[in-house]
Amino acid sequence: MGEGTVRVDVDKAVAVITVSRPARLNALDIDMLKALSSACDEVEANPAVRAAILTGEGKAFSAGGDIKAWGGMQANEFGHAWVRFGHRVFERLATLRIPLVAALNGHALGGGLELAGTADIRIAEEQIKIGLPETGLGMIPGWSGTQRLVKRFGAQVVRRMVLGGEMFTAEEARALGIVDAVVATGDAMEAARAYADRIAGRGPAALEISKLMIASANGEDNGTAVEALGSILVAKTADLKEGVVAFSEKRPAKFKGEW
């Protein structure tokens, strides 16, 4: 088992998900990925939560995937147990039913930037650096760095980080659209909380549906978004209620086409 953890703290309508492995700059291993997945389940199961904040403990947001965790894996294990599992966890974060705000309290590198990329809003402290350095290790960004980040940040920005190994300051990242706001060192959580409170004051159903529609328009898993929207709509109809009752009473349903 790894020495890290992921904490979930709920205050009123806002949940804070904290990646806590400060001794390794919040680098992710398998146990941390599992803990992130469990954190998503916990947050979504709480009907009182209307917004969430994702942050790191200590001086880093996340240094990405821990090389010690994957460096010795055989190719098959690396592809399935590491890359594909990480994909599923990050997709879980990116598709939370509630808006997610990333408080970038420190550097977000490699998988750490891919982690930040799952958020809907990113607020960065002025001292941080952002980049995708994987090709310098002979590796590629494996947790949607060349997929989700291209959709959210733009292909040319990702090319500069992946192909050229460029690192961006917080202000450069803001100008490029990677982060939405830059605040003073130590202020990311306060700013993220203020933004999350702002979100939480808006209509929860409208937020959830708007998030799905925006993701669909951006080419992010259109099929899932369309099916989720359709299911939500049908679940509110009188026809569905009649169908369920008819099934339990073992009789033909009497649909009226009522919405």
Positions marked active-site: 114, 134
b/e string for 61-85 if b means 16 or more Cβ within 10 A?
A: bbbbbbeebbeeeeeeebeeebbeb
Of 128, 12, 132, 2, the closest CA to residue 59 belongs to 128
> Rounded to an integer, what distance in angstroms lies between the CA atom of residue 30 and that of residue 39?
14
> Rounded to an integer, what distance in angstroms lies between the CA atom of residue 88 and that of residue 143?
9
Phi, psi of 169 (to 5 degrees): -75, 170
